[in-house]
Amino acid sequence: MLNIILFGPPGSGKGTQAQLLCDKYGLVHISTGDLFRDEIRKETALGIRAKGYLDKGELVPDEVTIGMFSSRLDHEIAAGAEGFIFDGFPRTVKQAEELDQLLAKRTMKVKRVLSIVVSVGELTKRILLRGKDSGRSDDLNEELVAKRIAEYNSKTTPVAGYYEMHGLLRIIEGEGSVEEVFRRLSEAIDHAA
Q: Which residues have a catalytic role annotated?
A: 14, 91, 130, 136, 148
- CB of residue 71 vs ligand AMP: minimum separation in angstroms? 14
Q: How many amino acids of this chain bind ligand AMP (CB under 6 A)?
A: 16
Coil, strand, or helix at residue 84?
A: strand
Interface region with ligand AMP, contact rule CB under 6 A, candidates 89-97, 112-120, 161-169, 184-192:
89-97
DSSP 152-169: IIIIIHHHHHHHHHTT-E
Query: In angstroms, how far is the first alpha carbon of the chain from the final one?
Result: 13
Please say which residue, 108 or 159, places its beta carbon nearer to ligand AMP.
159
- CB of residue 98 vs ligand AMP: minimum separation in angstroms? 10
Q: 137-155: buried (b, 16+ CB within 10 Å) or exposed (e) per residue?
A: ebbeeeebbeebbebbeee
DSSP letter, residue 82: -
Does 57 contact ligand AMP by CB under 6 A? yes
Please say which residue, 58 or 187, places its beta carbon nearer to ligand AMP.
58
Enumerate the β-bridge partners of residue 28: 84
CA distance 141 to 130: 11
Does 59 contact ligand AMP by CB under 6 A? yes
What φ, ψ does residue 62 adopt, rounded to 5°? -55, -45
- CB of residue 181 vs ligand AMP: minimum separation in angstroms? 17
* Contact letters for ligand AMP, residues 1-40 (x by CB under 6 A): ---------x---------------------xx--x----
Q: Which residues bind ligand AMP (CB under 6 A)?
A: 10, 32-33, 36, 53-54, 57-60, 65, 88-89, 91, 95, 148
